[in-house]
């Protein structure tokens, strides 16, 4: 599924190709600088929106559509709180996992030990969040990202796996914890 980040990156590639063909080196450099920041912010924003929506859907499902609980989670736990859910300077998402209980944190640590691509995805996700924080808190206009647009886009593509599976992992953890009848 193509996201807004994919479209932004595609537009960037098209513009850069045009500027390269026209031999507009200084305009290409300016476009690269601006697009790097835009792609980073778009990726971080997309992840925040997606995770918040997925968590709300999970809470809605797990609470059997309890609107009171859903409103509480939305208003107190998620609204304007996303960046406090993670320790962006860490190389792991244990702070986030622990918010859902020690059982889920342990479950995810085992999952990440077994699944190197998922562990890599978590690290990419955290790197995007860390870079986003630096960008918005260290003078956006003059901040210089060290990564190219391509590197940022690759981080985004890698991090997307974590964002897309974390709520499924919550469901799996809940299901694994249920007592199962064995004939």
Is 53 contained in some domain? Answer: yes
Task: Please determine, for residue 181, whether its predicted confidence score (pLDDT) is greater than 60.
Answer: no
How many structural domains comprise the chain?
1
DSSP character at residue 84: G
Q: In which domain, by residue range, is 139 found?
A: 4-176
Span 44-50, average pLDDT: 97
Task: Please determine, for residue 4, whether its predicted confidence score (pLDDT) is greater than 90.
Answer: yes
Is 129 contained in some domain? Answer: yes
Mean per-residue pLDDT of the chain: 94
Task: Please determine, for residue 133, whether its predicted confidence score (pLDDT) is greater than 70.
Answer: yes
What's the pLDDT score for residue 182? 53
Is 19 contained in some domain? Answer: yes
Q: How confident is the model at residue 148 (pLDDT cuts 50, 70, 90)?
A: very high
Q: How confident is the model at residue 15 (pLDDT cuts 50, 70, 90)?
A: very high
The dihedral region occupied by 79, where left means phi > 0, alpha psi between -120 and 50, and beta the remainder, is: beta
Which has the minimum average pLDDT: 43-57, 117-131, 139-153? 139-153
In terms of Cα–Cα distance, which of 121, 142, 156 is closest to 4?
A: 156
What's the pLDDT score for residue 63? 95
In terms of Cα–Cα distance, which of 136, 146, 179 is closest to 44?
A: 136
Span 41-60, average pLDDT: 97
Q: How confident is the model at residue 109 (pLDDT cuts 50, 70, 90)?
A: very high
Query: What is the Cα–Cα distance from 13 to 153, expressed in whole angstroms?
Result: 11
Is 182 contained in some domain? Answer: no
What's the pLDDT score for residue 126? 98
Q: How confident is the model at residue 103 (pLDDT cuts 50, 70, 90)?
A: very high
Q: How confident is the model at residue 57 (pLDDT cuts 50, 70, 90)?
A: very high
Task: Please determine, for residue 179, whether its predicted confidence score (pLDDT) is greater than 80.
Answer: no
Query: What is the Cα–Cα distance from 169 to 167, expressed in whole angstroms?
Result: 5
User: What are 167's two structure tokens?
Assistant: 């709520």
């Amino acid at each position: 599924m193509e996201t807004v980040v994919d479209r932004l990156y595609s537009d960037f590639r098209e513009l850069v190709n045009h500027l390269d063909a026209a031999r507009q080196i200084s305009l290409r450099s300016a476009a690269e600088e601006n697009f790097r920041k835009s792609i980073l912010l778009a990726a971080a924003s997309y992840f925040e929106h997606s995770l918040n929506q997925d968590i709300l859907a999970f809470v809605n499902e797990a609470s059997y559509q309890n609107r009171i609980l859903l409103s509480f989670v939305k208003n107190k736990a998620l609204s304007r709180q996303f960046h406090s859910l993670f320790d962006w300077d860490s190389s792991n998402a244990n702070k986030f996992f622990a918010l859902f209980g020690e059982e889920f944190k342990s479950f995810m640590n085992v999952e990440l030990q077994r699944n190197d691509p998922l562990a890599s995805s978590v690290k990419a996700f955290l790197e995007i969040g860390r870079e986003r924080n630096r960008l918005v808190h260290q003078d956006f206009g003059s901040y210089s990202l060290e990564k190219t647009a391509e590197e940022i886009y690759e981080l985004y593509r890698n991090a997307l796996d974590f964002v897309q599976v974390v709520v499924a992992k919550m469901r799996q953890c809940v299901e694994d914890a249920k007592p199962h009848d064995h004939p």
